[in-house]
Structure 1
Amino acid sequence: MNNRNRGKNTGDDALFGSEKQTGKLKLAVQDMQYLLTREYAEKAASELVGNRYRLKTRQIQAIRGASASDHQIRNRNLKQTEIGALKNRTIYLDGFNVLILLESLLSGAYIFEGLDGCFRDLSGIHGSYKKVKQTMEAVALIKAFFVKNKVQKLVWIFDQPVSNSGRIKQLIHEFALENNLNWEVELQFNPDKFLAGCSEVVISSDAWILDHCSCWFNLVGYLIREEQLFSNQIRLS
């Protein structure tokens, strides 16, 4: 059995587990929005805000993920697809982005709802993906969404350069065969560019992809509501 867990880092409770800390982070996100709207670079804006509120590295990572300019928020909202529009459609899913976010959620790690309504986590694959205890539970949640909403086809896109991408491709391919699901799994050298240029609905919480794709669906937000997946979620909007 795989005993790896995607969960919290040591010290995350001190950084995110109190109303005092979350209140400070919400103010920091408001300041980030102001600066990004006035075309400050994200790095410069996060340094200014981080210094003002004396934020730690992981707190800065959280507010960067949650922040966006007014224009970005409007643009993403206009392109967001509702659940009823997914029936009989082909959907492209940002594999590592969505899978790791769901693994983090299911393991009790902190995840953060940003100004665009998307949830993001603080995990990274750092060039190599490792399956964890929550991996197949996450895949099963995606299956439930796929079947319930009569999606025609789901195409998983994974980063080919990431170590073990071939293994997760095989794992999901076998799961799809066993459950008679119309899923495809592809490896792409530049999945962000591929998904951003896709004409079909995209599932991702990657900010650059959301800014450049033609339409997207907030799967993790949907699953949290539909499956009542309430754990360590922090709303920073």
Structure 2
Amino acid sequence: MLNKINLREAAIDLRYLLSRGYNRKSIIDLVGDKWNLNRDERHILYRAIFSLEEIKVRQWNEVQIEDIEGKTVAIDTYNILITIESFLKGLVIIQADDQYLRDISRVFNKYKQSPYTLQSIQMILTELQPHHPKEILFYLDKNISRSGELAALIKKELNNFKLEGDAQTVPSSDKSVIMNGEVVVSSDRVILERARNHLNLISLLIEDKKLSDENILKIE
């Protein structure tokens, strides 16, 4: 059970300290100890709270979905799938200060396909297809079990949707996404900081499909 009152107070402190230039990792425990936050609450703070300067940079590089026409779209596959699947399962996801939706499941290296995996892939392609990207490239970290099987499933769906693209297992999806995407789809903070252009796809999915947002946590 989350202590939302303490979480909000801790978020205020963290925003201030980040705006003063303090390192994120070094102050999470400081703020967490002050407000007696548990491990999950500290994880939420780490993924959700940003300084105003970080938010401004994020907004500057964000593109609208209409802007993907004729562009190569590179997708940080596990990052996006885990968040969408968490949402479909009814698990809590967070709407961060930069307006990106992020999961708090910490399942990345232990990811396994679920009954929601195919649906999530189809939701992604349904959202992107009408805007005519040049190609859609899905990158999967090869060190995660059965990445090859998931890549094959994605390739099949790309073909079913008659979309140009590929799904590749790579040593580092972060590097591949940043290097090859004219538009990047990820909610990973490091990727977003380095990407030339990024698309907030998951928020668009939920908005366009008029899905319930009752399991989305926003820390004011």
Fold shared per TM-score above 0.5? yes
Q: Does 2:101 correspond to 1:111? A: no
Query: 1:224: Cα distance to partner?
Result: 1.2
Q: 5+ residue gaps in structure 1?
A: 1-13, 16-20
Counterparts of residues 132-211 of structure 1 (less than 5 Å):
132-198=114-180, 200-211=182-193
> Which one-letter code corresponds to 2:123 in the other structure?
L
Contact 2:11 2:49 in 1 (8 A): yes
Contact 2:72 2:181 in 1 (8 A): no
> Which one-letter code corresponds to 1:234 in the other structure?
L
The residue aligned with 1:71 is 53
CA deviations over 1:115-158 (Å, ceiling 9, x no partner):
11101111233534210111111111112112232223211011
Query: Counterpart of 2:109 in 1: which secondary structure?
Result: coil
The alpha-carbon distance between structure 1 residues 84 and 180, as it changes in their structure 2 partners (threshold 3 A), is closer
Counterparts of residues 90-105 of structure 1 (less than 5 Å):
90-105=72-87
Contact 1:197 1:212 in 2 (8 A): no
> Which one-letter code corresponds to 1:114 in the other structure?
A
Query: 1:24: Cα distance to partner?
Result: 3.1
The residue aligned with 1:5 is none
Q: Distance in 1 between matches of 2:156 and 2:40?
A: 36
Q: Distance in 1 between matches of 2:81 and 2:105?
A: 11
Query: Counterpart of 1:167 in 2: which secondary structure?
Result: helix
Query: 1:198: Cα distance to partner?
Result: 4.0
> Which one-letter code corresponds to 1:144 in the other structure?
T
> Which one-letter code corresponds to 1:124 in the other structure?
R
The residue aligned with 1:42 is 24
Q: TM-score, normalization: structure 1? A: 0.86
Q: Does 2:55 correspond to 1:84? A: no
Query: Counterpart of 1:197 in 2: which secondary structure?
Result: helix
Contact 1:22 1:234 in 2 (8 A): no
CA deviations over 1:68-95 (Å, ceiling 9, x no partner):
2222211111100012212222210100
> Which one-letter code corresponds to 2:104 in the other structure?
L
Query: Counterpart of 1:127 in 2: which secondary structure?
Result: helix
Moved more, 78-87 or 145-154: 145-154
Q: TM-score, normalization: structure 2? A: 0.93
Q: Does 2:206 correspond to 1:235? A: no
Between the two proteins, the alignment pairs up a number of residues equal to 219
> Which one-letter code corresponds to 1:190 in the other structure?
S
The residue aligned with 1:124 is 106
Contact 1:93 1:204 in 2 (8 A): yes
Contact 1:198 1:214 in 2 (8 A): no
Q: Distance in 1 between matches of 2:151 and 2:107?
A: 16
Query: 1:221: Cα distance to partner?
Result: 0.9
Q: Distance in 2 between matches of 1:89 and 1:178?
A: 20
Query: Counterpart of 2:149 in 1: which secondary structure?
Result: helix
Query: Counterpart of 2:166 in 1: which secondary structure?
Result: strand
Moved more, 210-219 or 66-75: 66-75
